[in-house]
Amino acid sequence: MSTSLENVQNIHSLDNMDALRQSVRNRIGIKDDVEEDELIYQMLQASNDIKDLFSTSFGPRGQSKIIISPTDDIYLTSDGKTIIEQIDVLHPVVTSLKELAISMDRVCGDGTKTSVILAATLIENAAKLMDYGLHPTTIIKGYQLALNKVYDILNYESTQIVSDDELYSVIENASLSKGVEPHQAGMIADIVLRTLSDIRELHVGNHIDLNEYIKVIKKVGGPSIESVNGIILDETPARPDMPDHLEDARVLMVNGNVKFESKIINSQRNLRIDCFDNSGLLLQGQKSNLKVMSRKLIDSGANIILCEGDVDEFVEESLAKKGILLFKKLKIRDMEMVGKATGASIISIRDDIVPYDLGLVNEVKVEKRNDEYFLFMSVNEQPISTIMIWEPFRYGLEKLEESVDDAINNAAFILKNPLVVKGGGDIEFVLSQMLRKYSSTIEGKEQLAVIEYANALEEIPRTLAKNVGLNEVDAITKMLTSYNEGIDSRIDLTRNVVQNYPPVYDSSSIKQMAVIAATEAVSNMLRIDKIVLKK
């Protein structure tokens, strides 16, 4: 009987494994080994699907995608990394493009859609060349020649940032890429430029880590966007009778609980609470201990106390009577940022409190907005800033957060490497035209690959034109006419091809990384000659 039961269990186990294996294969989209012509078709089909998905969400007028996860989470986004991360497909080409997008987001924080659209188009064009009989190694060599020339042209076309107006253009253009309204992009650019200018003046360094220097808070409400030099916390004061406005305040930060612990009175644990006298002794010791804690905090000279743990009601009442503002149960990450902004140290209640443990805050305000309390701590001449975003709808809130994130990341790259290229599809069109001229100097079949690389670059302004409502053929024709006349032009939000003056700028570093990453990803895929499905 036991043997029969074991056999049944083994059969169920095998059935489950087969079902899991079949589920994975369905997500991969491959039933058998793939090679030769079938491999070209598989690469072309997968890259076309990803390109179609990304192209329609590209640029200021790109459309958002609704993605429903297996757990019924709903994402409404136009962010490239979010879109491709949520695609539940394991096809090798899709996986390679997914890794490309994630790598671009990790390194640059932007440029994901540009790199993926370029890579998908390069695969599409390579498949066409392979149909003509070109060997993949020839295409790879041609693409590498094109990349080297693109890199040289980008360096030549890059210009140095010389004014805040040019930096503003980069930030605003990055914000618009997420599809926010122009007035919202302007507000974001104003706030980010002001924040980063403060950081730059304080000589913090060229590279700015968003998590280290800038805190972003998003809330349903508004709509509005505001910032403060210092920290904003969405926390409620410990008591309503505490002050809600302080100037030139001193802040103290405490780690752990500020409460009575019996082991302080009875460290040997030899006192039994079995009679009234012992109970009274413990209560007396508790009250005495809490008085010591309260006096210690009050004598520290702090006007505002931030505690990571819980605080006893007796201590809260003592602080309130002295006009001291208290917040408790705070996140340690928030306290660390407050420490960087104010110079305060995080201490234990059992430590000796010395003057240099306290930080300085120019102004403290507690405000209630949309039934939530917020603590505003303004600190002059320091590098920490907070941006708070209000938006009536959660989906719009995510889009604004993505815009702020892209704006900050682009500005950070500009401060690290203050080189820009002309945006609005201008630089990609110029690169495509120069590559076509360069291809005439190449002998051999690699020339065809260089031409297809140029065509792939031209796909960027074509996509921008299509998404703003222009006929892409007419738009490219107008850009070509302007180029032949020596005039820079771009795809504009007014649904026209206009002279790029005053110029719209993009970060040169991010453009360089996008073309390098896309070319390397495609070269690695073209080196594959067979996909083997493990049985």
Q: Are residues 410 and 428 in the same domain?
A: no
Q: Are residues 404 and 495 in the same domain?
A: no
C-beta separation of 64 from 76 below 8 A: yes
CATH number (domain holding residue 290): 3.50.7.10
Pairing status of strand 245-255 against strand 159-160: unpaired
Q: Are residues 118 and 253 in the same domain?
A: no
Domain boundary among 367, 387, 407: 387
Burial class (CB in 10 A: 0-12, 13-18, 19+), 296: middle
- Judge whether 12 lies within some domain: no
C-beta separation of 293 from 305 below 8 A: no
pTM: 0.75
Q: Are residues 91 and 190 in the same domain?
A: no
Number of domains present in the structure of the chain = 3
- For residues 96 and 522, give the distance between their C-alpha atoms in angstroms, rounded to a whole number: 9
C-beta separation of 415 from 206 below 8 A: yes
Q: Are residues 247 and 208 in the same domain?
A: no
- Judge whether 105 lies within some domain: yes
Q: Are residues 203 and 256 in the same domain?
A: no
- For residues 133 and 189, give the distance between their C-alpha atoms in angstroms, rounded to a whole number: 50
CATH number (domain holding residue 504): 1.10.560.10
Taking the CA atoms of residue 128, residue 134, residue 135 and residue 136 in that order, the dihedral angle to the nearest 10 degrees is: -40
Neighbouring CB atoms inside 10 A of 531's CB total 18
- For residues 312 and 101, give the distance between their C-alpha atoms in angstroms, rounded to a whole number: 50
Domain extent for 456: 24-159+422-531
pLDDT recorded at residue 155? 93
Domain boundary among 379, 400, 417: 417
- Judge whether 5 lies within some domain: no
pLDDT recorded at residue 158? 92
**Among 336, 332, 301, which residue's Cα sits nearest to residue 319?**
301
Q: Are residues 86 and 143 in the same domain?
A: yes
Q: Are residues 350 and 373 in the same domain?
A: yes
pLDDT recorded at residue 209? 63
pLDDT recorded at residue 65? 74
Q: Are residues 83 and 124 in the same domain?
A: yes
Helices (H), 108-135: 112-131
Q: Are residues 363 and 267 in the same domain?
A: yes
CA angle 113, 114, 118 (to 5 degrees): 110
Q: Are residues 101 and 214 in the same domain?
A: no
The DSSP string of 276-314 is HHHHHHHHHHHHHHHHHHHHHHHHTT-SEEEESS-B-HH
- For residues 519 and 453, give the distance between their C-alpha atoms in angstroms, rounded to a whole number: 9
Helices (H), 373-445: 394-416, 426-439
C-beta separation of 510 from 111 below 8 A: yes
CATH number (domain holding residue 174): 3.30.260
Name the token pair of 524.
């690695």
Name the token pair of 161.
């940032």
- Judge whether 3 lies within some domain: no
Q: With a cut of 50, which residues of the chain have pLDDT below it?
A: 1-2, 5, 8-29, 264-267
How many residues are present in the chain? 535
Name the token pair of 500.
């790029």
- Judge whether 508 lies within some domain: yes
Q: Are residues 445 and 456 in the same domain?
A: yes
- Judge whether 16 lies within some domain: no
Q: Which amino acid is present at 129?
A: L
- Judge whether 97 lies within some domain: yes
- Judge whether 62 lies within some domain: yes
